[in-house]
């Protein structure tokens, strides 16, 4: 029997190296006793046999799905996970299709462990609650947060990149009994060392609890679904959890009380007060794009700023002849703080190139400057802005146009059109032609590139993509005929 001691509890690379060497040395799974770190020190440490190398060395063969499965399984806290994976690795050398046999006990066990790990990761992304701590880190100006979480498995390293992407604008530390992840000034560090539960309390906890109680809808209570989504073991670290039993117990009575209440019109004085409410005066206009961008950082004109990471302002030359207006930043743009850097942006760049337009010569912006989304597990699902949000944000777009003074504005999609035209108009009626919009501004309307990414039928997608490129090409031709001195034709326009 060989005892193989791995230094880390969930390092797929370390396990892979050891397993590969054992496999090449012909060691059978039942001859290996796998251990990790501290457990291993009680036993005589044995190194895996050196990997044979050179001509004639056979390399283990595994199907594509195996590395991904192994990376999840290795994070499980089951001490048998390394042996299970090694058994699978050995068996895969004889049967490349083994992973497709769902009834095989080893395959079923590996899938079960991987599923539990994924679920644990998902719970971590949902139930980590950060508490703010004094900002004395190396990067002044960055706020600092600490969170405590108790995962079932060794998932800190696997899940940390999610938090690094989501909370890139702050420094944070997530401590767990199975290791910690720290993010400081843009650098993520992960450690396996178990942490002790810190004493965390935050004045914002009471605020959060009050908010939770306020949005708790007794009429939509589904206790079973709630328990499945938020198992009790997570409650001890959630500030809102203490409220839940009371809210559940009082739900029925609250629903009955709501049903008894007659609908009533607003009090008579409401309309008078509304009429007298002073109109908020527009802030004095900023004189430069940079000043405007700075000012927009603090925009709180509509509730979208509460959820979004940051204001995503337009970018491009301050004297661009062409301005391109989209809808609102997406998930990637919200995190990066720049417009059109995600999938729709990449498609836009390609289409512009093919139409002979260099994106760097255009000013690219959005009708709405904050990302509107609905949280769905780890995902943030895009939600279109409503007319009120578009109206609130029009002020910024108007100022961008006043300062850049483009010769032509391209509106991509219905939201951009609404913001630029100031009223609802049918995109199909205006598409592809240069028209005069508000203040005599030249406007060309086309579809939004994200629309192309959603067309399921390949032939239709191709046709619509060609039409989009034709619209951008029309914009370039119009600008050239209007004498715009732009380095637009960096690439030859492709036909059709």
Shortest separation between residue 203's beta carbon and ligand URA, angstroms: 35
Q: Give residues 406-465 in contact with ligand URA (rule: CB under 6 A).
A: 450
Encoded one letter per residue, x for contact with ligand URA by CB under 6 A and - for no contact, window 339-378 reads: xx-x-xx--------------------x------------
| Nearer to ligand URA among residue 179 and residue 330 (C-beta) | 330
Shortest separation between residue 448's beta carbon and ligand URA, angstroms: 6
Shortest separation between residue 455's beta carbon and ligand URA, angstroms: 16
If binding is defined by CB under 6 A, does position 327 make contact with ligand URA? yes
Shortest separation between residue 296's beta carbon and ligand URA, angstroms: 14
- The stretch near ligand URA (CB under 6 A) out of 233-241, 281-289, 327-335, 393-401 is 327-335
Shortest separation between residue 333's beta carbon and ligand URA, angstroms: 4
If binding is defined by CB under 6 A, does position 329 make contact with ligand URA? yes
- The stretch near ligand URA (CB under 6 A) out of 27-35, 180-188, 241-249, 320-328 is 320-328
Q: How far apart are CA 394 and CA 284, in angstroms?
A: 15
| Nearer to ligand URA among residue 172 and residue 340 (C-beta) | 340
| Nearer to ligand URA among residue 190 and residue 455 (C-beta) | 455
- The stretch near ligand URA (CB under 6 A) out of 29-37, 120-128, 231-239, 338-346 is 338-346
Shortest separation between residue 418's beta carbon and ligand URA, angstroms: 13
Contact (CB, 8 A) for 316 and 397: no
Shortest separation between residue 347's beta carbon and ligand URA, angstroms: 10
Contact (CB, 8 A) for 124 and 149: yes
| Nearer to ligand URA among residue 316 and residue 345 (C-beta) | 345
| Nearer to ligand URA among residue 75 and residue 452 (C-beta) | 452
Give me the residue whose beta carbon is nearest to ligand URA: 326
- Positions touching ligand URA (CB under 6 A) are 326-330, 333, 339-340, 342, 344-345, 366, 450
């Amino acid at each position: 029997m060989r005892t193989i001691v791995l230094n880390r509890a969930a390092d797929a690379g370390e396990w892979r190296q050891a397993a590969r060497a054992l496999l090449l040395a012909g060691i059978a799974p039942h001859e290996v006793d796998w251990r990790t770190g501290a457990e291993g020190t009680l036993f005589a440490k044995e190194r895996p046999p050196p990997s044979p190398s050179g001509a004639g060395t056979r390399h283990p063969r595994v199907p594509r799905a195996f590395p991904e499965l192994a990376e999840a399984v290795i994070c499980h806290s089951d001490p048998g996970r390394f042996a299970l994976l090694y058994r699978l690795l050995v068996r895969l050398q004889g049967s490349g299709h083994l992973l497709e046999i769902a009834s095989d006990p080893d395959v079923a066990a590996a899938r079960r462990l991987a599923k539990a790990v994924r679920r644990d990761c998902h719970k971590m992304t949902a139930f980590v609650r950060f508490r703010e701590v004094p900002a004395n880190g190396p990067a002044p100006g960055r706020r600092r947060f600490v969170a405590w979480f108790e995962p079932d498995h060794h998932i800190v390293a696997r899940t940390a990149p999610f938090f690094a992407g989501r909370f890139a604008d702050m420094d944070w530390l997530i401590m767990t009994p199975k290791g910690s992840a720290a993010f400081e000034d843009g650098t993520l560090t992960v450690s396996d060392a178990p942490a002790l539960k810190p004493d965390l309390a935050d004045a914002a906890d009471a605020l959060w609890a009050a908010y939770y109680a306020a949005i708790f809808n007794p009429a939509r209570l589904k206790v079973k679904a709630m328990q499945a989504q938020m198992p009790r073991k997570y409650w001890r670290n959630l500030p809102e959890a203490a409220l839940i039993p009371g809210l559940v117990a009082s739900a029925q009575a609250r629903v009955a009380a709501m049903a008894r209440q007659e609908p009533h019109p607003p009090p008579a004085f409401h309309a008078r007060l509304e009429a007298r409410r002073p109109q908020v005066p527009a802030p004095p206009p900023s004189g430069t794009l940079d000043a405007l961008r700075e000012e927009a950082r603090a925009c709180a004109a509509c509730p979208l700023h509460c959820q979004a990471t940051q204001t995503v302002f337009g970018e491009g030359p301050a004297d661009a002849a062409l301005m391109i207006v989209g809808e609102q930043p997406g998930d990637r743009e919200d995190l990066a703080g720049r417009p059109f850097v995600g999938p729709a942006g990449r498609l836009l760049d390609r289409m512009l190139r093919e139409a002979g337009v260099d994106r760097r010569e255009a000013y690219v912006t959005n009708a709405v400057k904050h990302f509107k989304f609905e949280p769905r597990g780890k995902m943030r699902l895009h939600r279109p802005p409503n007319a009120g949000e578009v109206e609130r944000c029009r002020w910024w777009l108007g100022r961008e146009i006043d300062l850049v003074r483009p010769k032509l504005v391209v509106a991509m999609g219905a939201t951009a059109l609404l913001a630029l035209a100031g009223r609802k108009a049918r995109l199909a009626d205006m598409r592809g032609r240069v028209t005069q919009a508000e203040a005599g501004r030249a406007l060309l309307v086309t579809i939004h590139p994200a629309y192309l990414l959603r067309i399921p039928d390949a032939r239709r997608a191709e046709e619509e993509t060609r039409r989009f490129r034709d619209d951008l090409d029309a914009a370039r031709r119009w600008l050239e005929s209007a004498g715009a001195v732009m380095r637009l034709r960096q690439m030859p326009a492709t036909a059709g």
